[in-house]
Amino acid sequence: MKWPRRVLMGLALLGAFGLVAIGGLLTSLSFERSSEIELPALTGQFAVGRAIYDWRDDTNVDPVAPNPGTKREVLAWIWYPAGAGPSATTDDYLPAATRAAAGPAPFPFRFVYRDASKVRPHSMRNADMPTRRLFPVVIMRGGAAAEVSGYATLAEDLASHGYVVVGIDAPYRTGIVVFPDRRVIRRTDENDLELYSDADRPR
């Protein structure tokens, strides 16, 4: 009757090896997640500046806001061709308030998502725009409910080629919008198409 004992010992060894392998994988993922990374290099001739604004329209009501009478408002991310002035410093990939509002990624994605505070963009804060130049404007909107910050690589590279890129995050439609005054507005269920069947989705 030695074979049952050998089978059990074999299973125990396999379990131990499995735990070691999983532990090593989680350690590797944790190191990768917490290490710094820079966005892809710019391919254009211009340095890039970035500004974030709260744009309000007091003459129109937001039709999808949960509270009647709410005025239209969007968060505008603007990437633009810039000169590296003496006061210009590299900006955060995401403002601290936005990172805090987003919170940690849901399990198990928190082990593979990059820590946004470790991502280094090329956009500069307080950078001056070249004078006596006219630049074409590109309007950018995230797909589905995605925030435009997720398109930063594309926006930066377009700006380095001489475009002003205006990205729009819309309250109640975009997954999460964090305004400069730290107000946090999340997408409402009424505007989450994933909660509707094909037959129930608004036309």
Please give the helix or strand (H or E) that residue 150 lies within, else none: none
Query: Mean pLDDT of all residues in the chain?
Result: 81
pLDDT at position 26 is: 46
CB-CB contact of 160 with 83 (8 Å): no
Strand order, beta sheet including 124-125: 89-90, 124-125, 47-61, 71-82, 164-169, 137-141
Average pLDDT on 75-97 reads 86
- Residues 6+ away with beta carbon under 8 Å from 64: 172, 173, 188, 190, 191
Please state, in angstroms and as integers, the Cα–Cα distance from residue 54 to each residue in 5, 122, 171, following that order: 69, 22, 11
Mind listing the pLDDT tens digit for each residue in 137-155?
999 999 888 999 999 999 9
pLDDT above 80: residue 192: no
Mind listing the pLDDT tens digit for each residue in 31-59?
455 678 899 999 999 999 999 999 999 99
What does pTM read for this prediction?
0.76
Question: If pLDDT is split at 50, 70 and 90, which confidence band does 29 have?
Answer: very low
Question: If pLDDT is split at 50, 70 and 90, which confidence band does 20 have?
Answer: very low
pLDDT above 60: residue 190: yes
How far is 79 from 124, CA to CA, in rounded Å? 9
